[in-house]
Chains A and B, each alone.
Chain A
Amino acid sequence: MPEDASPLTPVLFPHLVLQAENLACRRGGRLIFEGLCLNLGHGEAIALTGRNGAGKSSLLAMLCGRLRPEAGTIRVEGAPEASAAELSHVVGHRDGLKTALTAQENLSFAQALLGDAALAPEDALAAVGLPHVAALPVGYLSAGQRRRVALARLLVSRRPFWLLDEPMSALDLAAQTMLTGLMRNHLAQGGGILAATHGPLGLEGARELRIGP
C-alpha cells in the first residue's frame, strides 16, 4: 500500500484548532453564505459539501487569505501569532505549478517558500507515485499527473492543516487510494484536513459540513 511505502516518520503536530466564526461571503454583490462556523481540530477531517456555487471554494479561499470575509473571524487557537494561511497547505483547482519548471523545481520552490521542510522533492514525488517525472517540465504532464505533483507539495513541507479543493478530481483509482493513505497518515500525525468534495473521501470518522440547502 502506498501509505506503507511512504517514508514519513510519525511527527505529532501541536494541538491547534482552526476556527472560523460567523463567516459571511459576498461575491459580486451577492451573499453566498453567512453565519458559517467551523472548528477543525487535532486529527480531524471535515468533508465540505454543497451544491455547485454554494461557496465551498470561496470558504477555502477565505481560509487561505485570498478572499476577505464579508463578516466573521478566522483564527487558529493555540497559535496566536500565525494566521490560518501560514499554517495551511492549499491545493485547489489552480494547482500553483509553473508549467515551464520541472516537477522537482516546483517542489523545491514550494519547500523553500513554505518552510519547515519534510520530505525531499524526489521522495515526495516517489510517495505520490511519480518518481520518473522529476526532471520533466510540468507543462508536459497530464492533468492527473499535475494534480499528483501539486499533492506532493503537501509532503515537502510540514503544515498542520490541509485545505483541499476537490482533491480527488482528475485522479485515477490508484491515485485516489494513494491520496486517502496520505490523508490518513496526516490525521494520524495530528493534522487537520478540510476537503471540499462531491464524492467520498474514504476517511472513516470524517465529519460533513454542508454549505447551503
Chain B
Amino acid sequence: MTRAFLAILKRDLALASRAGGGGELALVFFLTIVVLVPFALGPDLNLLSRIGPAILWLGALLSMLIGLDRLFQGDEEDGSLDLIRSSVLPLELAVLAKGLAHWLTTGLPLALAAPLLGLLVALPGEAMLPVTATLLVGTPALSFIGAGGAALTAGLRRGGLILPVLVAPLTVPVLIFGVSAANAALGGTIPFRTPFLILCALSMAAIVIGTVAAAAALRQGE
C-alpha cells in the first residue's frame, strides 16, 4: 500500500516537472500579482509595507487556485483515475498523495519565494520569516480545500472557471488567520503565536476533511 502511495506521489511530481506541468506557472503568476500591486497603489512605501503580508497571501491564494482544476481532471479524462480506483490503495490515501504532490509543487515553492517577493512590497526585514512561516503552514490548507473542489469538478469540462468560485469562500478562515499572524509579527497587540497556531490547526483540519470530501466526491462518480 505504501508502494502505491509513493507511486502516485512520485508520478505527480514527475508530471509537474515535465512541460505543461503547471508548478512553475503558479510561481510566475504569483510574481505577476505581487509586481502589479505596487503599480496600482502608487509610490507609498508605508502603505505598501503595511498591506504587504495581505498582498503576498492573496497572491499565493490566487496562484494556488489556477491549475487546481487539473488535479483530478487530467486523471479522469485519460482513465488514470480508473487505474487508481482499481488499486488496493483506499481512494482517501490516493487523494492524500495527490494533494501532497500538489502542495510540494505549488504551495512549497510559493512559500519559499515569499521572502524574495516580499522585497517588492517593501516588507520589513523582521517580517520576512514570519510571513514565510505562515505561508508554509497555511498553503497545505489551500491545497486540500482545493482538492475537495477539484474532485467535485473533475467530470466537468469547464471546471476551471467554477472551481475558484467554489473554493475561494472556503479559504476565508485560512486567509484571515494567515494574514493576521503575519501582521502580528509586524507589531500589534496580539502575539504571533495565537493566530499562527490556529492557522496550523486549520491546515491540519483541512488535510483531513479535504481528503475525505474529495474521495467521497470521486466515489460519487458520474
Contact = CB atoms under 8 A, between A and B. Distances in A.
A88 B19 CA distance: 32
A34 interface: no
A25 to B, nearest CB: 12
A126 B89 CA distance: 29
Given A101-B11, A112-B6, A112-B7, A65 B86 contact: yes
B46 to A, nearest CB: 47
Interface majority SS (helix, strand, loop, mixed), chain B = helix
Interface majority SS (helix, strand, loop, mixed), chain A = loop
A18 to B, nearest CB: 13
B158 interface: no
Interface stretch (A90-98, A182-190, A202-210): A90-98
A65 B89 CA distance: 13
Interface string B1-18: 001101110110011001
B82 A66 contact: yes
B221 A66 contact: yes
A101 B18 CA distance: 8
Contact of A113 (B7, B19, B20, B222): B7
Interface in B74-89: 77-89
B18 A100 contact: yes
A109 B11 contact: yes
The range of chain A's interface size is: 20 to 34
Contacts of B10: 109
A212 B25 CA distance: 49
Contacts of A89: 86
A89 B79 CA distance: 12
B79 A92 contact: yes
Contacts of B78: 94-99
B76 to A, nearest CB: 9
Contacts of B85: 64-66, 85
A101 B3 CA distance: 19
Nearest to A117: B3
Contacts of B80: 96-98
Contacts of A115: 3-4, 87-88
A101 B8 CA distance: 13
Nearest to B84: A113
A82 B21 CA distance: 35
17 contacts: A61-B82, A67-B221, A85-B86, A90-B79, A90-B83, A96-B80, A96-B83, A98-B78, A101-B11, A101-B14, A109-B7, A110-B83, A112-B6, A113-B84, A114-B83, A114-B86, A114-B87
